[in-house]
Amino acid sequence: MIDMDRVKTGIEGLDEMLEGGLPRSHAVAVLGSFGTGKTTFALQYIQQGLKEGEKGIFISLEEDQESVIANARSFGWELQPYIEQKKLSIVKLEPTDAKTTITRVKSELPEFIKSFGATRIVIDSVSLLNLLFDADHEKRSNLFALIQMIKRTGATCIMTAEVNDDNPNSSRDGLVEYASDGVIALRYEESKEKAEVQLTVRVMKMRRTTHSRRVKPYTISNKGIQVHAAAEAF
């Protein structure tokens, strides 16, 4: 096996499942239904990078900067100093203003990633970004182009994606799982025995590396996401 340079997600247990972390300059989709912890995952990934002295860009189509900061603070991650030191940029894109947003993504983002020197990028969520395009072929070509553009900068990217209501293994538009280098799925499992909903994670795809295919339980606490790698989900 080729020894690949790894980028730690900072999520305990998950990095073990990935043989140390995400392969550097991969674009990885984090799929999940509402409330499964996609945004938390993305924040934890950015926070880990900041802790390691890397720069990050958090592109949000849902929450504005203040809300992203407050969200991170609820896990004890203080982002404000990193923003002031130009180590972190939170970019809010308007999913309703298609024309402006498409222009910003296509013409400003590549230059911005390079000049900012970011090695970690988050897009939360790529499902909302895809809504900017009407036709399926446009969604597809723009998503592939965006991923290629980010990869060319050498940055490692996490894209959160909403799932299709009928299939928790597939994203809403069914595109990002093919376009990305890796897919990590977050899921609810209804337990018949216990009156409790369990959260589970699985690595469904990770190009150019071996990885665990086991289904592992995870929890979300005020310290973020923790994957219980030693436990079995079923």
Ligand X SMILES: Nc1ncnc2c1ncn2[C@@H]1O[C@H](COP(=O)(O)OP(=O)(O)OP(=O)(O)O)[C@@H](O)[C@H]1O
Binding region for Mg ion (CB under 5 A): 38-39
Concatenating the DSSP letter of every residue in 96-136 gives T-HHHHHHIIIIIHHHHHHHHT-SEEEEETHHHHHTT--SH
Q: How far is the CB of 90 from Mg ion (least distance, A)?
A: 14
Restricting to residues 40-69, name those near ligand X by CB under 6 A: 40
**How far apart, in whole angstroms, are the C-alpha atoms of residue 51 and residue 47?**
6
Residue 56 touches which member of Mg ion, ligand X, none, C-beta under 5-8 Å by kind:
none
Per CB under 6 A, the segment of 7-15, 102-110, 170-178, 215-223 that binds ligand X is 215-223
Find the binder of ligand X among 10, 21, 32, 182 (CB under 6 A). Answer: 32
Q: How far is the CB of 5 from ligand X (least distance, A)?
A: 27
Q: With respect to ligand X, which residue has the nearer C-beta, 34 or 234?
A: 34
**How far apart, in whole angstroms, are the C-alpha atoms of residue 214 and residue 202?**
6
**Helix 65-73 vs helix 38-51: crossing angle, to nearest 10:** 80
- 119: contact with ligand X by CB under 6 A: no
Q: How far is the CB of 163 from ligand X (least distance, A)?
A: 9
Find the binder of ligand X among 3, 190, 210, 222 (CB under 6 A). Answer: 222
Q: Token pair of 196, please?
A: 């409790």
**How far apart, in whole angstroms, are the C-alpha atoms of residue 88 and residue 95?**
22
